[in-house]
Amino acid sequence: MSVPVVAPGRSIAHRIVSRVAVSPPGRRFVGDFGARIDPTLLRLTRGRVSSVWPFPAVVMTHVGAKSGRTRTSALVFFTDRGRVILIASNFGEYRNPAWYHNVKANPP
């Protein structure tokens, strides 16, 4: 599957979603509910719908650093000169998301 060319958004919708997603209720919604439904929702809609719309998202499969189990995560991304840039922000938290540690321990 190819990843479309995407520039970081600057629209009003992007700013609104950004503010909501980093608020405590928004982090809870996107982090808990979105993290569970987004991989399936993105597969069913071929990447068009996710809990973080209008931001583009992809589904990444990775191997757990400790468990060795296969995991999937929906990630916000953009592209730069043919490279895919994944955002490991963990909804504005100070610690990195679990997928980041998994990929560092088991690079693709």
CATH number of 12-105: 2.30.110.10
Residue 66, CA distances (Å) to 14, 35, 73, 102, 106 in order: 35, 20, 16, 8, 10
Q: Does the pLDDT of residue 7 top 80, yes or no?
A: no
Residue 37 has pLDDT above 60, yes or no: yes
Helix or strand run (H / E) with residue 58: strand 57-63
CA 106, 48, 50 angle in degrees (round to 5)?
65
- What is this structure's pTM? 0.71
* All structural domains of the chain with their residue ranges: 12-105
With a cut of 80, say whether residue 14 has pLDDT above it. Answer: no
Encode pLDDT of 40-67 as tens digits: 888 898 888 888 787 888 888 999 999 9
Q: Count Cβ atoms below 10 Å from residue 55 Cβ, excluding itself.
A: 20
- Residue 74: pLDDT over 80: yes
